[in-house]
Amino acid sequence: MFTSLFIRRFAWGQLLLWGALALLTRFTWLDVKPPEWIWIFSYMALGALFSSLLFVAYQPILRWHVAAQLAMALALSVVAGLAWRASFNALEYHVLESANNKFHFWGYFHNGKSAVTQLLLWSCGFWLWHYQKRTQLQSKQQDKLQQQARDAQLKLLQFQIDPHFLFNVLASVDTLLLKKDSNTARNMLNKLSSYLRHTLTLEPPLTQPLSKELTRCRHYLDIEKMRFADTLSIEWHVPESLPQVALPTGILLPLLENAVKHGAAAQTSHSSIGIALETQPHSLIIKMSNPCASLSAAKNINNNKGTGMGLYNTKQRLQTFYGNSATLAYGQQGDLFIVTMTVPL
């Protein structure tokens, strides 16, 4: 759970904190005679022990609501402070034998208020440190997500202006014009224009609604379908009412690119690409399927070779954006290559 470096730093921090408090106690004692070093050492050692136990006890509540955290921290600090003082008083009464007051049950909690106050101050320091670290971590994660969105957009831009992609589209338009099929050529150019308009943005948002992401995918597939004419068909299995969920911008397009390259482009006969959406109570499942040209091609993708890196990078984006709440699974099932993305709602 904790790295060895963190444990060493925490141990040194505890040693310095309680050591400084021991020196402060010894040399600022208001009474005529300060307590013996063994008394101070025993008290501070127990304080370090119970504050370390508090640190461990705080770990399960780090993700709680702030109000619940504060309430639990207050309760744990009071309990730990009283336990600290009871342990020290028992040591003082029965081992050190330096107590002046006559022993009785409540004597175990003598000066418990000071111990509780000290652990409350220690807890305040811990939670201030925790909230500062959490704010820094969230800021770094936000910066990382924004950078990934920009990187993804740059990849999309690179894909859009890829000479082969534009050449194939323009070559298809030229062929249509030679056949005097100007209506179809104009239609293809309009779809290309719509596609570029939806993808070429200067400041890509970190996320966008599922509906817009699907619109981007439809524009792309419309162009590819016109290029491959009757040899490519698209099977959409999308509910009429889409869930209100936002996806990382451009997360689906690399998956469709793979489907086209390893489906339609690699087939000599008719091929079909399937896109299906399924809504679960707490998650959205997106499945894409395409014919597998060969078993070796599927193995190359699973081994992150070639365009398999696109699948790997998509998986990394999901991991960064959603943590362990999202998954991306892919592999060959029969003569189909299927990619399944699951994101939380």
**CA separation for the pair 100, 286 (Å, rounded):** 74
Beta-sheet strands, E only, within the chain: 207-209, 232-237, 246-248, 271-279, 283-291, 327-333, 336-344
> Can you tell me the mean pLDDT for 136-147?
82
Whole-number pLDDT of residue 328? 92
Whole-number pLDDT of residue 158? 46
Nearest of 211, 340, 217 to residue 280 by alpha carbon: 340
Instruction: Report which listed range, 130-139, 142-151, 179-188, is most confident.
Output: 130-139
- Beta-bridge partners for 284: 279, 343
**CA separation for the pair 192, 198 (Å, rounded):** 10
pLDDT at 129 over 80: yes
pLDDT at 296 over 60: no
Q: What average pLDDT is seen over the chain?
A: 79
pLDDT higher for 280 or 34?
Answer: 280
Contact predicate 247/208, CB 8 Å: yes
Q: Report DSSP letters for 176-210, one per residue.
A: HHHTT-HHHHHHHHHHHHHHHHHH--SS--SEEEH
Whole-number pLDDT of residue 342? 94
Whole-number pLDDT of residue 24? 82
pLDDT at 149 over 50: yes
| Long-range Cβ contact pairs of 35-40 (< 8 A, separation 24 or more) | 35/98, 36/98, 38/96, 39/92, 39/96, 39/98
Q: Show the tokens assigned to 118.
A: 């000290």
> Can you tell me the mean pLDDT for 170-188?
81
pLDDT at 268 over 70: no
Identify the helix (H) or strand (E) that includes residue 225. helix 210-228
**CA separation for the pair 58, 134 (Å, rounded):** 14
pLDDT at 287 over 70: yes
Nearest of 263, 156, 171 to residue 226 by alpha carbon: 171
Confidence of residue 327 (pLDDT cuts 50, 70, 90): very high
Whole-number pLDDT of residue 340? 94
- Give tens-digit pLDDT for 97-116: 655 555 566 556 777 788 88
Q: How far is CA 9 from CA 12, 20, 49, in A?
A: 5, 16, 16
- Give tens-digit pLDDT for 192-204: 787 777 666 555 6
Whole-number pLDDT of residue 163? 56
Contact predicate 55/126, CB 8 Å: yes
pLDDT at 335 over 60: yes
Helix spans in 28-111 (H): 37-58, 66-91
Strands 246-248 and 283-291: unpaired
Gyration radius of the chain over CA positions: 33
- Give tens-digit pLDDT for 199-245: 665 556 778 899 988 988 888 888 888 777 777 888 999 988 888 88
Confidence of residue 261 (pLDDT cuts 50, 70, 90): confident
Instruction: Report which listed range, 11-25, 69-83, 267-281, is most confident.
Output: 69-83
- Beta-bridge partners for 287: 276, 340
Whole-number pLDDT of residue 210? 92
Backbone dihedral angles phi then psi of residue 344, each to the nearest 5 degrees? -75, 150
**CA separation for the pair 247, 321 (Å, rounded):** 9
Whole-number pLDDT of residue 288? 92
Per cent of the chain over pLDDT 90 is: 10
